[in-house]
Amino acid sequence: MPDLINLSAAVLAFSLIMYVLLDGTDLGVGMLFAWFPEGRDRYHLSATILPVWDANETWLVLMAGGLLALFPAAYAQLLTGLYLPLFAMLLALVARAVALEYRSQASTRMQRRLDVLFIIGSVLASFLQGALAGSILSGISFGSPFSWLTPFTVLSGIATMAAYLLAGCCWIRWRVEGEVAERCSQLASLFLVLMIVLVIGLCLLLPGRFLLAWQTPLGKALLLLSGLLIMAIPLLLRREKLILPLLAVLLLLVCLSGLALVAIYPWLIPDVLSLEEAAALPATQHFVLVGLGLVIPLTLIYNSWAFWVLRGRMK
């Protein structure tokens, strides 16, 4: 396969993984609102992500725009087979953004309603992102609008919710002091166990795809590293270095996302459309990659600057 196509795929994979790490953590914090009904606790949770959530979602825009420009045939196929969950996910992201931005300016009564909207939007966006990933892994069905909804995609959606909740707990544990951090430590262990059970269930439902990943050197390395991280995270949650569990969980998400990508390579839509078949013309890829080569570093710099300015723990 031409190196240019592989480079284009790598850029999209990088944008996808960055989105999972950054906005996945934000979505986890949003779902954690359900475990923290007190207004002061919710204020602390929302304050940790309010300055950075919009920059985190930039990676989704980059990935979607890059997919359209670099692999237009795949973009068309995905919209054809998955238009309902895709648009529902985007609507959920818009709803949670509105709730997060306006909750601090609303009355107490309206704030509670916005919090409910924030939780629902976070849950739906997380579940649908996992279901979309499950649909691609298991093979897209182009039948009815709900043909994407299968036991595997439902399990994949719940597993994604557990993974995001785990990342959100570690983020809050790092950023907030007091009882909120202690409760997040306990919840993190629960969500880690839940995620492990669900991922094992996914492997049992679709063993062929994950065996393909295991047959590659990269797949073996990612799987072994995932196992080490799963054993290390409970130990790190007991340590005083609060950032270590967060880094370990984010690295675990990188490994699991990488395994899913390795499992479908060189397909973009398994058994339907390969990377080479879906790729745009070389001239188009060159032009788009040059643009992304400028935008991605700037986005990384902005993300890093925002985290640096807002470093430290909230009391």
pTM (2 decimals)? 0.95
Split at pLDDT 50, 70, 90, the class of 271 is confident
Q: What does the pLDDT look like over 71-125, one tens digit per residue?
A: 999 999 888 889 999 999 999 999 999 999 888 787 888 999 999 999 999 999 9
Split at pLDDT 50, 70, 90, the class of 272 is confident
Judge whether residue 248 has pLDDT over 80: yes
Q: What are phi and psi of 37, to 5 degrees?
A: -75, -20
Instruction: Note if the bond before 266 is cis, omega within 30 degrees.
Output: yes
Split at pLDDT 50, 70, 90, the class of 314 is low
Provide the pLDDT for residue 302. 87
Split at pLDDT 50, 70, 90, the class of 208 is confident
- How far is it, in rounded angstroms, from Cα 80 to Cα 173? 41
Judge whether residue 1 has pLDDT over 60: no
Provide the pLDDT for residue 315. 62
Judge whether residue 126 has pLDDT over 60: yes
Provide the pLDDT for residue 138. 86
Q: What does the pLDDT look like over 174-206, one tens digit per residue?
A: 999 888 989 999 999 999 999 999 999 999 998
Q: What does the pLDDT look like over 18-77, one tens digit per residue?
A: 999 999 999 999 999 999 999 889 999 999 998 888 888 899 999 999 999 999 999 998
- How far is it, in rounded angstroms, from Cα 69 to Cα 73? 10
Report which of 195, 226, 206, 227 is spatially closest to residue 270, judged by C-alpha positions.
206
pLDDT average, residue stretch 255-275:
91
- The alpha-helical segments, DSSP class H, found in the chain are 3-32, 39-49, 53-70, 72-102, 108-138, 151-175, 179-205, 207-214, 217-236, 243-264, 275-278, 282-309
